[in-house]
Every structure is written in C-alpha cells, then in structure tokens.
Amino acid sequence: MSFLKNAEYVFMKDLGAPVLMGLSNFGKRRGPKKANPFFGPPLKSAPRLKEIMTRHYFLSRYTEGAKPVAWVASGAPVELLRPFDFYTVYPENHGALCGAQKVAPELCALAEERGYHQDLCSYARVDLGVCFSGKTPVGKLPKPDLLFASNNICQTVVYWYKALSHHWKIPLILFDTPYNFREIKAGDIAYMVNQFEEIIPVLERISRRPFREAKFQEAIRTARDTSLAWGEVLATLKARPAPMTIFDAFVHLAPVVSLRGLPVALEYYRILLRELKERAEKGVGAVVHERKRLMWDNIAIWYKLRDYGKLFAERGMNFVTATYTNAWAETTPNLDEGNPFESMAKTYSLVILNNNLNHRLHLMERLIKEFQVDGLVIHSARSCKPYSVGQYDLKRLLMERLGVPSVIIDADITDSRAYSEEQAMTRLEAFFETMGN
C-alpha cells in the first residue's frame, strides 16, 4: 500500500470527513419540518444514520492504494475480512440506495445494453451498470482488490460476482453453504470450517497483512452484539403503538449489513434502541392512529418506500415486522468468539434463504403471533426468485392456520419498470376492504 495514499486516507478520515460533514449541514433550514398528520415525530437518530452512511461512502473514495478493498455480498461472513482491515463495500446496499433514489432503471439499462437480461436480479444489473459506466449517486465507488460472496442467499450472486471478477480481473472468494433441508449436519459444519481455514491464507496474500486472532475475535464479538442490538431494536415494535415502522427499519438496516463487525454499527444501534424504548414508554407511535398491525414479506420496494408508508399510515396501518429485517437478527447472535469457525458456519448457513420453506412458515407464524399482526403484505419480487418462491403456498397456509388476511404485490426491489401502479392499487384496495378500511 502506498504511503502517500495511506496518509491521504488518514487525513480525510480524521479531518476532511468531519469538516465536510459539518459543511454539508451548514446553512440547512433549521427547525421542525411540516408535520404529517398521519405520522408521529421523526426519529432523532435518523441524522446520525445519514452521517454514518454518507461518511462510509465518502471515505471509500480514498481507499484505493491505502487499504485493501473488498466488495462483499450480504450473505458473506464479513467477520473474516475485519482482521485484515479490508474496507468493505456492499453492492446490494448500494443497489438499494440507487433504487431509493430512483436511478436504478437507468443503471439496469446500461447492463442490459451489454447483454444482461431484464429478468436478472436488479441489484446485479444496477451493480454491473455502475461498473460499466462509473455512474453512482454516491460519487464514486472504489475499485475492489477482492470479491467475497456466498451462495447462501441465491445462485445469482455466484454468477454476478464471477462477472465482476472477469470485469475487474481480480480474485473471487466464494463461501459455499450446503442447503439446510431439515437440520444442519456435523459434516456440513466441518465442510464449511475447512473453507474458512483455507480462506485465511488467501486473505493474507491479497491484503499483505497477517491474520490477527485477537482482532478476529473482537470482530466476531462486535458483529454478534450488533445483531443482538438490532434484534432489540426490532423487538420494540411489539409495543402498541409501535415506535417505528418497518419502512423505517428497512433504512436503519444499513449499518448491520454494511458495517457489521465495526464498532460504529454497534454504537449506532444502542443510540437508536434508547430512543425507541423511550418512545415506547411514552406511547409515541410512528403512526399516529395505529389501528391495524401488518407484516411485510421479502425485500423492500425501495422506490415506493415513502409512498407506501403514507398509503398505509393514512389508513391507520403500521408495518411492525418483516421477514427481511428479522434475517439480520435471527442467526448472527449465534456467533461465538470462543468457537469462531463453527459458530460462523451455523450463522451463515441457517439464514432464511438457505433454509427450507417449513422453517420460513414457522418463522412467519411466530412473528405474526409475537407482534400481534392483523394482516400480511407479500412482495413477490421479480428480482429475488429464491425469496419469492413458495409465497402463494405460504399465503394459503397462514390463512388456514391463523386466519390472517394477506395480499401479494408483484414488483421489483429497485427496477420500477417492473412495477404496475394500477395492478398494485387494485389488489391493495381489495386488501384494505378485507381489513375493514
């Protein structure tokens, strides 16, 4: 790594970033925003979240030549990278940001011009469009030295990251997780532990840094505590009225995805948790007149997040739980610094998309009961086939077992070209009528 590049990075981290963050806030209109009659007061923690994620992407511009850079899939065991001081960028998190800022269709089209089909995951198409054009709403993404992925969420990730590896001419490390049909087997754990042991020398070579056991254990501990804190954050939504919405949680999910294993993520969730507990104790709801409590299945429709929040809040409906946000609290607490490799094997192979549909059915039943859910909205995502498979069966079974009204919306996570407002509203109006609205 270059001495000058490292000095530039340290300068920007310690001095440049704080100054620029301060300047970005200087002169902004102070005072409360216009109140929305359907929503409670905004979360005070939100500006801190924006600051953390803005700083993360800003500093990433100065990492090339200063720190090893890894592009990481959301299901990959990032704790392995932390002892080597990799600066991690998550294309899925960046894709969600592009979706929320409504630039995804343009970036997807750039990938499609290169021959990538519109039926492919739009996270992948957004990411490839960024690679081919350099366009991104965060200014610039650093060129990676390493790609790190796992097939525990989908097979598309494997081919997507192979395409990135070919484009950048850099190594790809793929962590292979056996699918969990019933219960995890000892042989499966041993197979995954062997992979971890083989990956470490590769990371040493790429990063040019030695493996540090103490730092690894610290990363494991921090990642576990972060997920536990995130789980506590989500648990506050059991309160009536819930102090936050799942649409808020989709946004506040960013640190546990992109910054897992780093102290800043843990610190943030402790701040958010304190605020939510205080709101719950005072009866401050995210939706002013919360009459119905809903559950969301699948990834968010990022370009409709604000619209849907308002649409449901106007009817006194609040989303209080989701299978997707729960995924980041469900298995990661299994991490154990005293037994890191085996605990990581269990943690990353038992995630919702690497598990059988019975597991998902029982999970949804539990969440519906614990959060006192009155209705279910299922996003059938064109981009995420593993998440969307079996949803019609799940809808039927949950209706039979719990009598929970539900609706399925066909859409895409970031590509608004695959979304029909007319079709979605027709289905939702029927759902609202069923729910007594």
- Compute and round to an integer the Cα radius of gyration of the chain: 21
- Measured between alpha carbons, how far is 109 from 126 in angstroms, rounded to an integer? 8
**Is 279 a domain residue?**
yes
CA nearest to 275, candidates 308, 250, 252, 301 = 252
> Cβ distance 381 to 387 under 8 Å?
yes
Domain assignment of residue 283, yes or no: yes
Please, are residues 390 and 378 in contact by the beta-carbon 8 Å criterion?
no
Q: Which amino acid is at 234?
A: L
Task: Give the count of domains, the chain.
Answer: 1
What are the Cα distances from residue 90, in Å, to 15, 87, 96, 162? 25, 10, 10, 16
Domain assignment of residue 324, given as a range: 3-22+38-434
Q: Which helix (H) or strand (E) holds 296?
A: strand 292-297
- The pLDDT value given to residue 436: 87
Residue 28 is assigned to a structural domain of this protein: no
334: helix, coil or strand? helix
187 contacts: CB under 8 Å, gap ≥ 6: none
Determine the pLDDT at residue 25. Answer: 64
Task: Provide the whole-model pTM.
Answer: 0.95
Distance CA 49, CA 37 (A): 24
Q: Name, in order, each residue with C-beta under 8 angstroms of 307's C-beta and a sequence gap of 6 or more.
A: none
Residue 184 tokens read as 């995890």
Q: Give me the amino acid identity at 212.
A: R
Q: Is residue 33 part of a domain?
A: no
> Is 249 inside any structural domain?
yes
H or E element at residue 322:
strand 317-322
**Within-domain flag for 99:** yes
pLDDT one digit per residue (tens) for the chain, 437 residues? 677 788 888 877 777 777 776 766 655 555 555 667 899 999 999 999 999 999 999 999 999 889 999 999 999 999 999 999 999 999 999 999 999 999 999 999 999 999 999 999 999 999 999 999 999 999 999 999 999 999 999 999 999 999 999 999 999 999 999 999 988 899 999 999 999 999 999 999 999 999 999 999 999 999 999 999 999 999 999 999 999 999 999 999 999 999 999 999 999 999 999 999 999 999 999 999 999 999 999 999 999 999 999 999 999 999 999 999 999 999 988 999 999 999 999 999 999 999 999 999 999 999 999 999 999 999 999 999 999 999 999 999 999 999 999 999 999 999 999 999 999 999 999 999 999 87
Residue 272, Cβ density class (10 Å: 0-12 exposed, 13-18 middle, ≥19 buried):
buried
Transcribe 61-84 into DSSP letters.
TT-TTTS-EEEE-TTS-GGGTGGG
Cis peptide, bond prior to residue 386, ω within 30 of zero: no
Give the whole-angstrom CA distance, residue 352 versus residue 220.
20
For residue 255, what pLDDT is reported?
97
